[in-house]
Amino acid sequence: MKIIQRAVPKPKPAEDSALGFGKYFTDYIFTMRYREGIGWYDAAVVPNEPIAFDPAASVFHYAQGIFEGMKAFLQPDGSIGVFRPEENWARMQRSADRMCIPAFPEALAEEGLETLLRLEKDWIPHGPGTALYIRPAIVATRAELGVHASSEYLFFILLSPVGSYFAHGTQPVKLLAEDVYARVAPGGTGEAKCLGNYAASLKAAEIARRKGFDQVLWLDPAEKKYVEEVGSMNIFFVIDGETVTPSLSGTILPGITRKSCIAILNNLGRRVSERRISVEELVKASQAGTLTEAFGTGTAAVISPVGEICYRGETMKIGTQMGETAALLYDTLTGIQRGTLPDRYGWVKKIF
Ligand SMILES: *Cc1c(COP(=O)(O)O)cnc(C)c1O
């Protein structure tokens, strides 16, 4: 892998506690380009510096672009552990396909990532709750205003040392169930990690924030009756001792943390199911006292307990701290990721 050295390294953040999420970026990125007729070319690790794009580049106008999110952790044996990267590459290929972006060579992306991680190992934070966040992306770069798939693309991988995703760590969050706006539509792009989905979600998130909530709980876009997911997390509930999460409906992002949580619970012999969950059911369970936990799952936040959910002016109070199931999943996942628990599932790819 070609590496272009940079002249001056960037200063590293002084303290883990100041990291926040996605505020600092490392010295290098991985990039490769695509051009119709040539395929993917020019794979290299290069200095992380501003890149020039033509103002007519299609990503700026039509949002033809996708991204991924994964995390790397220092392991007790000195290696770098990446959590389930093959799952992210596979999902990125599916997102690419949905957005008419050409398939990319996964082995080359993985080699680029590993080269980058070895070079940037000193940037991986050590503190509890910290990680090196990995952000691969593909954007359409062809300068042309016609509405059709671009014939040129840039693939890049950014690295960012991160602390807690939410400012208050694993304190329970307050969700507002959204019954007006939708972030995606049936037959739309909800299953893909593509750029426009997030822009479409900002308005409802801003309104919720102004009303004192942390995040939006999205309902199904067709009927607004069934629970789907949170801004950048999938959602789980514990009802009557059973852990339930909405089944993948086509408008839900198929989270890798979600999938891992289901596997862990199954493996422990706990009752866990994927099915439709109506807000009505949650309200009833809350009134009956059987809704004992709610939590979000995602790479960035890992497990985020939900303290309350507001739906049409009614508040369901769920808990003031992390529940038993959420804590079990948090400890298991982070233990496997950090190499302090045995990786019985083979989820951590070690890079030496
Ligand atoms: C990325 C994302 C998730 C979580 O997926 P993970 O693979 O667990 O990180 C959930 N919902 C949305 C909308 C997302 O973009």
Over residues 185-202, the pLDDT tens digits come to 999 999 999 999 999 999
Nearest atom of ligand 1 to the alpha carbon of 300: 9
pLDDT digits over 61-87, tens only? 999 999 999 999 999 999 999 999 999
Nearest atom of ligand 1 to the alpha carbon of 254: 5
Q: Are residues 213 and 331 in the same domain?
A: yes
Q: Are residues 275 and 329 in the same domain?
A: yes
> Does residue 344 form part of some domain?
no
Give pLDDT, residue 89: 98
Ligand 1, from 88, 133, 162, 232: best to mutate by most atoms within 8 Å of Cβ? 232
Beta-carbon count within 10 A of 345 CB? 12
Pocket of ligand 1 contains residue 233 by CB under 6 Å: yes
> Does residue 350 form part of some domain?
no
Indicate the pLDDT class of residue 169, thresholds 50, 70 and 90.
low
Number of domains the chain contains: 2
Indicate the pLDDT class of residue 167, thresholds 50, 70 and 90.
low
> DSSP E strands: which ranges in 163-226?
173-178, 215-219
Give pLDDT, residue 168: 63
CB 229 within 8 A of CB 246: yes
Distance in Å, CA 37 to ligand 1 centroid: 33
Q: Are residues 106 and 196 in the same domain?
A: no
Say which CATH number the domain at 234 has. Answer: 3.20.10.10
Last residue within a domain, chosen from 110, 138, 162: 162
* Atom 14 of ligand 1, nearest CA residue: 232
> Does residue 211 form part of some domain?
yes
Nearest atom of ligand 1 to the alpha carbon of 88: 7
Last residue within a domain, chosen from 98, 130, 162: 162
Q: Are residues 149 and 48 in the same domain?
A: yes
Tell me how far apart the alpha carbons of residues 138 and 89 are, in angstroms, rounded to a whole number.
12
Q: Are residues 102 and 52 in the same domain?
A: yes
Q: Is the pLDDT of residue 166 over 70?
A: no
CB 163 within 8 A of CB 132: no
Q: Are residues 95 and 204 in the same domain?
A: no
For tokens 């001056």, name the residue.
8
Q: Are residues 43 and 153 in the same domain?
A: yes
Nearest atom of ligand 1 to the alpha carbon of 260: 8
> Does residue 343 form part of some domain?
no
> Does residue 167 form part of some domain?
no
Point out which residues pair with 246 in neighbouring strands: 275
Q: Are residues 76 and 197 in the same domain?
A: no
Range of the domain at 12: 2-162
Q: Are residues 84 and 196 in the same domain?
A: no
Average pLDDT over residues 226-244: 96
Distance in Å, CA 253 to ligand 1 centroid: 6
> Does residue 346 form part of some domain?
no
Q: Are residues 195 and 102 in the same domain?
A: no
Distance in Å, CA 300 to ligand 1 centroid: 8
pLDDT digits over 236-266, tens only? 999 999 999 999 989 999 999 999 999 999 9
> Does residue 352 form part of some domain?
no
Q: Are residues 7 and 155 in the same domain?
A: yes
Give pLDDT, residue 18: 85
Nearest to 58 by CA among 156, 136, 138, 148: 148
Nearest atom of ligand 1 to the alpha carbon of 257: 8
Q: Are residues 132 and 226 in the same domain?
A: no
Pocket of ligand 1 contains residue 264 by CB under 6 Å: no
Last residue within a domain, chosen from 110, 132, 162: 162
> Does residue 8 form part of some domain?
yes
Number of continuous H segments (helices) and E segments (strands) in the chain: 7, 18
Structure tokens at 288: 């009956």
Say which CATH number the domain at 30 has. Answer: 3.30.470.10
Nearest atom of ligand 1 to the alpha carbon of 229: 11
Ligand 1, from 189, 233, 337: best to mutate by most atoms within 8 Å of Cβ? 233
